[in-house]
Structure 1
Amino acid sequence: MTDELLVVRAQLGERAALAELVERWRVPVWTYVRLVSALSELPVLEREILVLFYLEDLSVEDCAQICRIPAGTVKSRLNRARRLLREHLEEKGSRA
């Protein structure tokens, strides 16, 4: 059964559909919550580069242009941001 159908059935009050949705989404939702929490702990410059590069799907060159920094600096910040994010997630007991 698709998630969309389960949502409709849960909205109609079917407890089994709601229970199945909770079970399906439990891990992805908590993974997302941990990731957002870890991102919020990063310094602003590193968080900005991660958001532009990964969430906005921009190239290194586009990130450099937006931030008005050299492409090499973007790469350095990406490297540092990934390291800090990995360390934070490992510290909190999550897999990086």
Structure 2
Amino acid sequence: MSKAPDRFPQPPEEDPLVREVRRRRERHDRWLREGDMSVGRRLAQIGVLGWIIIVPTLGGLFLGHWIDKQFGTGIFWTGPLLIVGLAIGGWTAWKWMNTQ
């Protein structure tokens, strides 16, 4: 007795190269439909990118300063948390730029 074929076979995992080619094609099609971005929209994206980096950096700075004030540790926590905030902001900006 032979085994009956699956009615709904699972699709194979998509090759990363095929996924990136499809993504690039979709971007190209969107560019053909919508055209170039306006200057205002480009400036808005630059502004958003700046805020994405600055907010976590300032958050780390203020949190470190507050901890240092509470425990009287000089700038022991301010410096490292500033760098952590900058790293989080940079990572978030990189992720945001790759989705745009």
Q: Which has the larger radius of gyration?
A: 2
TM bin, normalised by shorter chain, reads 0.3 to 0.5
The structure with the greater share of residues assigned to helix is: 1
The TM-score with structure 1 as length reference comes to: 0.40
The TM-score with structure 2 as length reference comes to: 0.39
